[in-house]
């Protein structure tokens, strides 16, 4: 009887509904990313990337390595990017240590006349599991065009691709 009980516990613990999924762990990592970014902590954001990670911002050169990616995010924070929100749309796991996430983001960026502009976009992240934690390994995003202003026929607030004067593209993940 004891053997059956132990076997049942093992089967229950190994079931997909009980075991932590890549999707759930990635959601937690995304929450840590948002919390760190929105509190101005680029060092913590940087640690969420693998050592050899690559970020591919829109209309900019690729950024290679954790240290360079941390600097990129620090520049974005320093130039007024705020209120980052990430929303996973889909997470596909490839083996036990790689996953791809497709999602949407929004943030507030500095705009003309001391105003902020809401920026929306989409992203793809390749995640790698290292030391038991999921980390961003490849991170690419692009911006969704803002709705045109009906009165003028132009975009009401152009979505920035570069924080003011930084020479690097705007976030996020």
Domains along the chain?
22-143 (3.10.450.50)
pLDDT of 135 strictly over 90: yes
pTM: 0.75
Distance, in Å, from the CA atom of 30 to the CA atom of 39, rounded to the nearest integer, reads 14
pLDDT of 117 strictly over 80: yes
Work out the pLDDT band at 148, boundaries 50, 70, 90. low
Distance, in Å, from the CA atom of 55 to the CA atom of 67, rounded to the nearest integer, reads 11
Place of tokens 């911002």: 57
Distance, in Å, from the CA atom of 170 to the CA atom of 8, rounded to the nearest integer, reads 51
Q: Can you tell me the mean pLDDT for 66-94?
A: 97
Q: Can you tell me the mean pLDDT for 97-104?
A: 98
The predicted structure's pLDDT at residue 106: 97
Rg of the chain taking only CA atoms, in angstroms = 19
Query: pLDDT tens across 17-45, in order?
Result: 333 589 999 999 999 999 999 999 999 99
């Amino acid at each position: 009887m004891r053997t059956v009980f132990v076997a049942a516990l093992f089967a229950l613990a190994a079931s997909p509904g009980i075991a932590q999924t890549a999707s759930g762990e990635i959601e937690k990592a995304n929450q840590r990313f948002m919390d760190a970014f929105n509190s101005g902590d680029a060092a913590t954001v940087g640690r969420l990337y693998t050592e050899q990670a690559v970020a591919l911002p829109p209309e900019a050169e690729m950024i290679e390595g954790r240290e360079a990616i941390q600097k990129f995010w620090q520049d974005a924070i320093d130039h007024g990017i705020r209120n980052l929100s990430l929303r996973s749309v889909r997470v596909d796991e490839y083996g036990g240590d790689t996953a791809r996430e497709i999602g949407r983001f929004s943030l507030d960026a500095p705009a003309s006349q001391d105003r902020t502009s809401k920026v929306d976009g989409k992203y793809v992240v390749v995640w790698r599991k290292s030391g038991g934690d999921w980390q961003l390994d490849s991170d690419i995003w692009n911006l969704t065009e803002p709705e045109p202003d009906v009165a003028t026929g132009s975009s009401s607030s152009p979505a920035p691709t570069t924080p003011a004067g930084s020479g690097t593209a705007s976030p996020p993940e």
